[in-house]
Chains A and B, each alone.
Chain A
Amino acid sequence: MTANGSRRSLPGGGMLKGLGVTLSTMFKTIFRPKKYLATVNYPKVKETPVPRARGVIALDQEACTVCMLCARSCPDWCIYIEGHKEEIPPAEPGGRIKVRSKLDRFDIDYALCMYCGICVEVCPFDALFWSPEYEYSESKMGNMLHDMDRLQDWLLTVPEPPALEK
C-alpha cells in the first residue's frame, strides 16, 4: 500500500524491483563493462579531467606583483610569499628611477590547501591559474609544499582559456 492509500501495489513489490535493479546492473557490468562501467582501473587507465577541473594551482611569476592578496584571502593560510623591492634605472639619463617588486618566495602548501580557488579569483594580475593535473601525491607530507619553480612548471599544463563571448 502506498503512503496516500490511493494506489495499492503488491506487498514487497518495491523490494523485488530493487533486487532486479542490482542484479541487472551486476550482469550488465560483468558482461558489457565498456558500456556500463562507471569507474576505471585508475593507474592503468586514466580519465581525462574536465578542462575546468581544480587539480593544481599554477603560478605565472612574471605576472605576480607580490601584492599578497592571495595570501591574505587564503582561508587556511597555505600560501607563503616573500618579496623585495628592486630599483630599475631610468630608461633615459635624468629620468625617474622605477621601483618594482621582485618575488623571492611563493610556496603553496597543498597539504593544507582546500582547493577553494579564492586565490585564483582574487589575483588582480592573472598570475594564478587552475590546472587540471592531479597526480602529485607524495610519500612525505613536507613534499606537498610546492615552491615557485614547481608552481611555474604547472603553468605549462594550464589549458587555453575559453574564447570570450561576443
Chain B
Amino acid sequence: MPGWVTDLFSNFWVSLGGKLLLVALMIPLVGMIIGFAEMKLSAKMQSRVGPYFAGGRWGWAQLIADGVKFFQKEDLIPADADRPVFKTAPILVLVGTVALFVVIPFGPNLIFRDLDVGVFYALAISSLSTIGILMAGWSSANKYSLMGGLRAAGQLIAYELPLVLAVVGSVILAGTMSLQGIVEAQIEAGYPFVVIQFVGFGIFMIAALAELSRIPFDMPIAESELVMGYLTEYSGFRFLFFFLAEFANMFTLSAIAATLFLGGYWLPGVPEDVLEFAGPIILITKVFLLVFAMIWFRWTFPRFREDQLQRIAWVWLVPLALLNIVVTALLKVIL
C-alpha cells in the first residue's frame, strides 16, 4: 500500500468514515443476499421455481428490483399516528443492527472495535430493536400494530433472558467477554466451544430465532391474525428499513453465534498465519450455514401459539440455560 494511503487511514476520522461506509454498504448487501437466498431456497423446499425473471439468469436481481419498488412507493403515515415516534422507529431498529457489526471479529485484526465487554455490548445493543418495534406498534394508531407491538415486547423480553444466559457458558470457558478474546480462547483450546456448549448453542439459536421474530416464533407479525403486526402501517422505504434490519439481524446474530460457539474466523486445522485472509471467508461460511438453518426452520415449522411460546422460554430454556451455566462452571473449576 502506498505511504499516503496508510497516512490517510491512520487519521481517525478518515478511518471512521471508511468503516462507516463499509458497514453501510454491507447491510444492504447482506440483506439482499439473505433475502434472495430465502426466496430461492423456500421455493425449492416447496417444489417451486422461485424468482427467475429479474436480471436474466436465476432472477438474481429480484431483490434489487424489490428495493427500487419500495423507493417508488408513497411514504404513508396514518393521520392519527404519533409522527416523530412513527418516523424514528425503523431507524432505531436498523441502528440496533448496525451497531452489532462493531464487535464482530472477522479476522485476527479485522474488527471495528474490540470491546472488553463485547458480549455484553452485543446483547445490550440487540435489545435496542425491541424498543424500536414497540415504538412502531404504539405509534401506528392501529389495533393490529398495537397487538403486534405488545406481543413483540412480551416475546422479546421472554427470550432475551435465555439468549443472555446461553452465552454465559462460553464466557466462563473463555474467561473474557471480549469476542476477539473468546475466539482466541477457542484457538488456544483447540476446539470450538460448541463441543462443550452444545446446550448453550441450541438455546442461543432458538432464542435468536425468537429475537428475530421469524417463524416458528413470528407471533408479533402473524399475518393470518394481525395483518402484519407492528409493520402494518409502514410502507415505502420505512418498511424497507424493517425488512433490511430483519435480514441483516439474521446475519449479525448468526455471526455472534458462530463467534461464541463455532470458533468464529478460525477452523480446526487451519494454520494461524493465513487467518488474516481466510478468516473472513471462514466466518462468513459459518454464518451462511446458520442462516440456512434459520431459513430451513422457517419453511418447515408452523407458528407457535402465544402460551406455548412463553412456556418454551420460561419452563424449558431458562432453567436449561441456568443448569448449563452451573455445569460449565463446575467443569471449569474441576478441570
Contact = CB atoms under 8 A, between A and B. Distances in A.
Interface residues of A, number: 18
B49 A40 contact: yes
A40 B53 CA distance: 12
A26 B43 CA distance: 8
Contacts, number: 42
A36 B301 contact: no
Interface string A30-50: 100000111111010000000
Interface string B286-310: 0000000000110111000000000
Interface residues of B, number: 15
B296 A23 contact: yes
A30 B52 CA distance: 14
Please indicate which of the listed interface residues A18, A22, A40, A43 has the most CB atoms of chain B within 10 Å of its own CB.
A22
A22 B49 contact: no
Contact of B49 (A21, A26, A41): A41
A26 B48 contact: no
B47 A36 contact: yes
A1 to B, nearest CB: 15
B45 A22 contact: yes
Contacts of A26: 41, 44-45
A15 B301 contact: yes
B6 interface: no
Given A18-B300, A19-B296, A25 B49 contact: no
B53 to A, nearest CB: 8
Interface of A: 15, 18-19, 21-23, 25-26, 28-30, 36-41, 43
Given A19-B296, A21-B300, A22-B299, A39 B47 contact: yes
Interface of B: 41, 43-49, 52-53, 296-297, 299-301
Contacts of B41: 26
A15 B300 CA distance: 8
A38 B48 contact: yes
A25 B296 contact: no
Please indicate which of the listed interface residues A21, A26, A30, A41 has the most CB atoms of chain B within 10 Å of its own CB.
A26
B300 A25 contact: no
B296 A41 contact: no
Contacts of A30: 44
A111 to B, nearest CB: 25
B49 A39 contact: yes
A39 B43 CA distance: 10
Contacts of B296: 19, 22-23
A34 B48 CA distance: 11
